[in-house]
Amino acid sequence: GDSVTQTEGQVALSEEDFLTIHCNYSASGYPTLFWYVQYPGEGPQLLFRASRDKEKGSSRGFEATYDKGTTSFHLRKASVQESDSAVYYCALSEGADRLTFGKGTQLIIQP
Amino acid sequence: GGIITQTPKFLIGQEGQKLTLKCQQNFNHDTMYWYRQDSGKGLRLIYYSITENDLQKGDLSEGYDASREKKSSFSLTVTSAQKNEMAVFLCASSIAGQISGNTLYFGEGSRLIVV
């Protein structure tokens, strides 16, 4: 079945550092890829999505590019802020009424 | 805008007890979901429903029942609570059809505590 593998556990950075959270997927077809963010005490919310090879999704300074060749959708941000501290989930959908999520990556930004 | 309301926010029960979580949405969305969130394991789908009275099993449905009483509400029952089921349960909704083009909206979660 479909699966998503992302950077495990926690990523700890200082403000203004460059962020990369890796996401690789396995799917039989041509999925749509998503990044969701979950702040403390809240439910996950959509950051952005991409549905075609080489399409770039972006929001709030975060971006990721759909790469069908390497089956990847890595999340990047050039300069993180303390307010970016959250859990980030990579997910995919192959058009059915459901998403498959990765295990989540906790981002901790130290001031 | 709309909102998803999950009740209760904390549910404390005893081992072996049947416990029910409720979810209401006012987006007028067709599809609703229940996910379980465990630290280090991500979000795993328990049940979803694409319309009133419809139920579809997810990857983690064993030990749970669900009911879509009406379009706006979706409840989840833990049939016999166990201590290894302590987790956060997240309800979500989306417009029916191709989820690829539709956003999933989540509630704030309900934490299950089994004593």
- Alpha carbon distance A23, A62 (integer Å): 14
Measured in angstroms, the CA of A33 and the nearest CA of chain B are apart by 8
Report the pLDDT value the prediction gives residue A76, as an integer from 0 to 100: 98
Mean pLDDT calculated for residue range A73-97: 93
Residue of A nearest to B3 (CA): A43
A46 touching chain B per CB within 8 A = yes
Considering only the beta carbons, identify the residue of B35, B42, B104 that sits closest to A102.
B42
Name the region of A95 (left: φ>0; alpha: ψ -120 to 50; beta: rest). Answer: left
Least confident of A5-19, A56-70, A96-110: A96-110
Mean pLDDT calculated for residue range B92-105: 76
Interface test with B, best of A99, A100, A105, A106 (most B CBs within 10 A): A99
More confident residue, A2 or A79: A79
- pLDDT tens-digit readout, B63-87: 999 999 899 999 999 999 998 878 9
Mean pLDDT calculated for residue range A7-28: 96
A103 touching chain B per CB within 8 A = yes
Q: What mean pLDDT is reported for chain A?
A: 94
Single-letter amino acid code for the residue at B79: T
Q: Are A97 and B96 within 8 A, CB to CB?
A: yes
Least confident of A31-35, B24-28, B37-41, B48-52: B37-41
Report the pLDDT value the prediction gives residue A111, as an integer from 0 to 100: 84
> Residue B90 in contact with residue B112, Cβ under 8 Å?
no
Measured in angstroms, the CA of A17 and the nearest CA of chain B are apart by 24
Measured in angstroms, the CA of A88 and the nearest CA of chain B are apart by 10
Considering only the beta carbons, identify the residue of A43, A94, A98 that sits closest to B109.
A43
Q: Are B90 and A43 within 8 A, CB to CB?
A: yes
Report the pLDDT value the prediction gives residue B41, as an integer from 0 to 100: 85
Report the pLDDT value the prediction gives residue B98, as an integer from 0 to 100: 57
Q: What Å distances lie between residue A21 and A63, A64, B58, B59, B60, CA to CA? A: 11, 10, 27, 25, 27
- Alpha carbon distance A3, A93 (integer Å): 10
Mean pLDDT calculated for residue range B15-40: 94
Report the pLDDT value the prediction gives residue B101, as an integer from 0 to 100: 64
State yes or no: cis peptide before A31, omega within 30 of 0: no
Report the pLDDT value the prediction gives residue A99, as an integer from 0 to 100: 87
